[in-house]
Amino acid sequence: MTTQTTTADTPHTTTADERTGLIALPPHIARATATAGGALTVVSAFLAWTWTPAFPGDLTYYGYPGGLQWLVLIGGALTALFGLASYGVKGTRWLVPAGADSAIKLSALAAFVTAWYTVIAISVQLGGVINLEPGGYVVALTTLAALVGALALPFERPHLLPADPEDSGWDQFKHRAGNQWATVKAALATGPVAPARKLPGYVEILIITAVLALGLTVFTYGIGTEYDELFLGFLMTAGFGLAALNKAGLIARVSGLTARHRNVAMIGAFVAAAAFPFTQSDDQYATIGVNILIFATVALGLNIVVGLAGLLDLGYVAFLGVGAYAAAMVSGSPSSPYDVHLPFWAAILVGATVSMIFGVLIGAPTLRLRGDYLAIVTLGFGEIFRITVLNLDGTSGPDVTNGSNGISSIPNLNMFGFDFGAAHTIGGFTIGRFANYFFLMLLVTLIVVVVFRRSSESRIGRAWIAIREDETAALAMGINGFRVKLVAFALGATLAGLAGAVQAHVTYTVTPEQYQFAHVVPPNSAFLLAAVVLGGMGTISGPLVGGALLFLIPNKLQFLGDYQLFAFGVALVLLMRFRPEGMIPNRRRQLEFHENEEAPATLTKAGA
């Protein structure tokens, strides 16, 4: 049996052997096995997996999932849902605009990895498989069956003809257009694809609201995991689950809705973020929340320099330190060499202004450099800043920064009679110190997002993108490259200074060790750059998501000790290998990365 896949120029014949999955099973049996396995996995989550509550999460109950069982249940439910969608069940086809087979494989893998990790952890920690209850064996078998069925599903890749290097520009354009059309047709042929249906505006807004609520739930769950096994299971389920949603085309479909309602999506996102402190009973996780916002906001500021203007800055954390030190010196700290106590609005302006000045002073003589040379210079600036503040202690140099002791005992903010250091009761919820600063930092984040959005859409933003794409061509078109890059450098430094002023009050103290190029605890320049690249350069939500992950994961992986950075590095290498454009990519950069292969953006939108 053969099927015909036609490209722009010649037909390609795909044999039945090429269409089989990794395991040789008929497609209808494979799909039924995966779907049934996912449904049975959901049932197995309601059984007891072990007889003793000694394993974290107490998986001894029948009829009520606990801990890791909830994560396996989610993986099984996604597998069953995508399986039903592959049959064209009414009400499910909207979820798989790009086809269900790849999504089934990833969701089945999520359930399998999490379930088997739990079963193995129970056996190792409690001393053998004898400690498993029947539910433990059942979930192991059902997830294995679902994975076997998923891996047996047909795998089809559109066959594209290589471009002839001697073709003219018009011929290459026709060839690429033909290949993209062939890709769309091949994607449409892989299974039942739901046609895009125009939804009423209020329905689209309700969908956006539901997605934001789900995002808040996932974030709150991840940040509030109480033991290491649960957080590792959460990472597995969330990672493979999001990959499954992406392969199904659902994330792209939701992104299209948010693009149509950008203002509603932005306001909803900040409302959801503002609801986070009300989900916490104490300041334990609100502390992590405010630090995540600081780190993510600084990453967004760096995105102007790296993502929009294409300037590789390896010393950006120094501008965060400049803003923090400047604000700390004028905030009334007893260890400050200056007897100045300005109100916060003035202190944050001082921090932002001083950072901007440093950005101009550093950028003016160095921004005529490009690429690696600029990276080396900015790396040097970061180290010079740290060594300078370390030596301005009154012994090695003038008494300005108090040396290695830093500036400590920075007083809490008191704005309009509202004491940020005291707990307050709002609507029956007690909001502690770090929750107060969380709301303040959320306001700063909103300012940074608005500045980034307006700048990127302005004339100067288009000039930054032109410089990033091809500086020589941009200069030939009349763009003043030096001035444009200097504006990007100064604006990025200013936004970092804003976040640094808040950070100084949140942490009570600023020391030189906080602003190294690379160390285990973020923020530092290496993690900031990784957050921008990991999240997606040139986007707003990319660095925010990347920054949140790069702060949360190291904070939760401290139990790995010396292996923490090793595990983290392996994860980054794998992500950059399989998704180099980042988790939330800019459309132009995504097409650049996949120019000579099947473009995920094209496949994802195949059914739209």
Note whether residue 344 is domain-resident. yes
Confirm whether 318 is domain-assigned. Answer: yes
Q: Give the integer Cα–Cα distance in Å for 54 and 77.
A: 28
- In angstroms, rounded to a whole number, what is the distance separating the alpha carbons of residues 118 and 102? 25
Residue 8 in domain = no
Q: Residue 500 maps to which CATH number?
A: 1.10.3470
In a domain, 42, yes or no: no
Task: Write down the pLDDT at residue 47.
Answer: 94
Q: Which two tokens stand for residue 251?
A: 């994330």
Residue 581 inside a domain? The answer is no
**In contact, 486 and 309? CB cutoff 8 Å:** no
| Domain membership of residue 301 as a residue range | 280-421+438-554
Rounded (to 5) percent helix, strand, coil in the chain? 65, 5, 30
pLDDT score, position 174: 42
In a domain, 151, yes or no: no
Query: Domain total for the chain?
Result: 1
**Which pLDDT score, from 0 to 100, does residue 593 have?**
60
What are the C-alpha distances in Å from 262 to residues 182, 254, 256, 446, 581?
32, 12, 10, 14, 22
pLDDT of residue 2: 41
DSSP string, 388-457: HHHH-BSSSS-BSS-GGG-B--PPPPEETTEETTS-EEETTEEE-HHHHHHHHHHHHHHHHHHHHHHHHT
Which regions of the chain are under pLDDT 50? 1-18, 157-195, 597-608
Give pLDDT, residue 135.
93
Please report whether residue 36 resides in a domain. no
- Inter-CA distances, 281 with 222, 289, 431, 435, 562, Å: 16, 13, 9, 11, 32
57 in any annotated domain: no
Which pLDDT score is estimated for 590? 64
